[in-house]
Structure 1
Amino acid sequence: MPYEWVKELPDTPTESEGPLAELHLWPYRSLPRKGFVTFFAITSAFIALPLIAMIGSPVMWGLLPFIVIAMGLMWYLLQRSYRDGDVIETMTLWPERVDLLHRDKTGKTSQWTCNIYWAKVSLHPRGGPVPNYVTLKGNSREVEIGAFLSEDERKELYSELLLALPRAARKQ
């Protein structure tokens, strides 16, 4: 699941100074970094296989530039995909407020803070940029959360937030 509760809400009230709960969200990665290295090595080996038969022939020098361009382009596009998906959202539930911090792929951050008692989570099945769009509303502002998650993951996130926000507000 491309989100996790780093710190979950305690069942009993605590007198700690820190946040009650913390949620981290990130885009799904079908090819992790370790898998990228393996994929690139295997692909390089398979592409180089025909070149072994051509060693010493002028045909090898005709094929080599195209193979180098293909491998370089694959490297660049996969690295660009990793940079474009370098988005993270952090929602922190404090006894008196809820904070949402969004860092986009360029490193620009935006923050939203609201009194936890007034924070409201909403699910928009239609009308948003994606199906089952999840938003947090409070402080006369509505912000998205987890827009990069899949449709089913947004539904699950909505149900978890629907339970977590009132529980955190009661601990106030």
Structure 2
Amino acid sequence: MPYEWTSARGADPEAPLEELHLWPFRSLPRRGMALFLGATCALISLPLLAVVGSAVLWGLLPFLALAVGGMWLAIERSYRDGRVLEQLCLWPDRVALTRHNPRGPVQDWEANPHWVTVRLHADAGPVEDYLTLRGGGREVELGAFLAPEERRALYAELQDRMARLPR
């Protein structure tokens, strides 16, 4: 799943008891992107073999290079947009959520864990199984980029970990 819990507090008393990192799933790793673009270039160059040595080659080549360059730029943009990271930290006296956006400001939210409720909206949210945290006078979304089954699993884990916080 594209999230990970860490519980090692270590020697630092200020460190959170539990920490959750969430990120979007990457279905195409960098190596896969290189293979895809290489295969695309190879397949595009096959029809060009028929026109090698003629002026038609120079007429087609810029358009084919533009198509491959456009694919590369689109995939790179997808990677940049996918650099979202949500970090949820649980302490006995507070809960803090930080969202690092790829092209925007960092968003923060904090509340007392005694007043925080974890909610899973089956039908009421903008997506299926909309997961939110309510507390501190606000309701914030958690894991918008997760699949519905991942949000359901995270909901159960989050409720369990919130219940185990020392009061």
* TM-score over 0.5 (shorter chain): yes
CA offsets 1:109-160 (integer angstroms, 9 cap, x no match): 1100111222110000012111100000111211100011111111111111
Structure 1 residue ranges, 4+ long, deviating more than 6 angstroms after superposition: none
Deviations 1:35-58 (Å, cap 9, x if unpaired)?
111211121122122223322122
Task: Pick the aligned partner of 2:29 from 25, 29, 32.
Answer: 32
| Aligned residue identity for 2:158 | L
Match of 1:136 in 2: 133
CA deviations on 1:14-35 (whole Å, 9 max, x unpaired) are 9851211111111111111221
Structure 2 gaps, min length 5:
none
Query: Partner residue of 2:2?
Result: 2
Taking only the aligned residue pairs, the percentage that are identical comes to 50
Match of 2:69 in 1: 72
> Counterparts in 2 of 1:1-172, with a 5 A limit?
1-5=1-5, 7-8=6-7, 17=13, 18-168=15-165, 171-172=166-167
Partners of 2:140 and 2:146 in 1: CA distance? 15
Counterparts of 1:25 and 1:129, CA distance in 2: 19
Given the two structures, how large is their TM-score scaled by the length of structure 2?
0.91
Larger deviation: 149-158 or 82-91? 82-91
Deviation per CA, 1:37-84: give whole Å up to 9, x if none: 121112112212222332212221122122011111111111111122
In structure 2, give the amino acid aligned to 1:3: Y
Listed as ranges, the gaps of 5+ residues in structure 1 are none
Partner Cα distance (1:136, 1:28) in 2 = 22
Conserved 8 A contact 1:9-1:164: no
The 3-state SS of whatever aligns with 1:101 is strand
| SS, match of residue 143 in structure 1 | strand
SS at match of 2:132: strand
Secondary structure in 2 matching 1:83 = helix
Q: Distance in 2 between matches of 1:9 and 1:136?
A: 23
RMSD: 1.8
For 1:161, the aligned partner's letter is L
Aligned to 2:164, the other structure's residue is in SS state helix
